[in-house]
Amino acid sequence: MKTISGSTYIKGKKLGSGTFGTVYKVTRKLDGKTFALKSFPPETEMDLGILREISIMKIFQGNDEYVMNLVDIVLSEGNVGIIMKCYSSDLFHAITNNLLDYQKRDSITCQLLKALSFLKRNGVLHRDIKPENILIDENFKPVLADFSLSKVFTGVCKKGTHTGKIATATYRAPEVVAKRPYSFPSDAWSLGVVIYEMYINETLSFNKDKEALNFLLRKIQKIKDTPICNIIKGLLRVDSKTRLTPLQALRGPMFNSDYISPVIWKTTKKCVVSEEIREWCSEFETKKEVTAWAAQTYYTRVDNSTALHSVALACKMFETELLDYEEYPDYPKEEIQILQGMNYNLFI
């Protein structure tokens, strides 16, 4: 199995599976090092979650800011996947098996606050923070993983304008439960639930988000007045406008950190859109200006791309309502071509 870097990997045992893919242990033939391969179903058209995850991990490739690091990409006939560092466990396993003492909990909390601060500073909303999506190594260093539900805030959408259900029911913020517009504070709420689970040394599970919300609001009124509990209560404020931010938590008395997250990604601020792209946007009845910007970017940067397919892919990445692509038989092939031409990052 070859990757875009030219390396060859040998697929090993299955490590797990989720909504958007199956994870395997793989070995790099060149040096015998082991990694994890998240393999996506070989379909004629890539799922939106796959495109999101590949794009965001490409943005963060080479960083060391407590988010999953992309090693390589598999993109050959019948195979699509991302190769990452192989982690020994996740936070769900650590909590349920009582592996965390107070020192480890505090350290993980601090590092996850840094991870979330890093995402926010670079305009990325994770939207599915939970213990299963936080991997840990043998030294209990955590990384945020699974960006298949993530969104990037662009230069034309900086305020909370996303709607709809996101994340797992237990970790949904009040504004998400109420189906109101949400933004970065919704991730802070989800992390607050995770930190609370570490604090009580027990994972929570609710099928209905309103039940989870009511449970948490009752419980946080009873927790002690300690530095870690004050962080939990701050992250779990109902009003998103007054909710504690990750950076505020880091600056507070518990950690007293001067951490400043690096900016490695800047969104497009403006774009001149051609009449041809505008016409196709009108045909597709697009609602967001960023869709036209993205389509123009794809069309300009990628050789032999068409205006039609550039707008179709931009709709998939940025519009709320997904299109039916069955009437465009050539679209799947050009989707791959545009992804490659954009260096595997479709966000702008």
Cα Rg of the chain, angstroms: 21
Other Cβ atoms within 10 Å of 288 Cβ, number = 18
By the 10 Å C-beta count (0-12 exposed, 13-18 middle, 19+ buried), 228 is classed as buried
Provide the token pair at 150: 């993530």
pLDDT at 159 (0 to 100): 46
Distance CA 127, CA 119 (A): 11
Res 75: pLDDT: 78
Q: What is the pLDDT of residues 145-188, one digit of tens each?
A: 999 899 887 544 444 445 444 778 999 999 999 999 899 999 99
In angstroms, the CA 88 to CA 109 distance is 19
Contact 158, 120 (CB under 8 A): no
Rounded CA gap, 10 and 258, in Å? 43
Catalytic sites, residue numbers = 128
What are the φ/ψ torsions at residue 190 (nearest 5 degrees)? -55, -40
User: For residue range 61-87, what is the model confidence (pLDDT) as tens digits?
Assistant: 988 889 999 999 987 766 678 999 999
In the chain, which stretches have pLDDT less than 50? 155-161, 163-165
Q: Which of 77, 23, 25, 82 is nearest to 56 (CA)?
A: 82
What burial class does residue 179 get, using C-beta atoms within 10 Å of its C-beta: 0-12 exposed, 13-18 middle, 19+ buried?
exposed
| Start and end residues for every CATH 1.10.510.10 domain found in the chain | 89-251
pLDDT value of residue 160: 46
**Residue where the block lists tokens 């945020």:** 144
Domain with CATH 3.30.200.20 in the chain: 9-84
> Which of 1.10.230.10, 3.40.50.280, 1.10.10.10, 3.30.200.20 is the CATH number of 9-84?
3.30.200.20
Q: The domain 89-251 is classified under which CATH number: 1.20.120.1760, 1.10.510.10, 3.40.50.720, 3.30.420.40?
A: 1.10.510.10
Give the tokens for residue 243: 């909710």
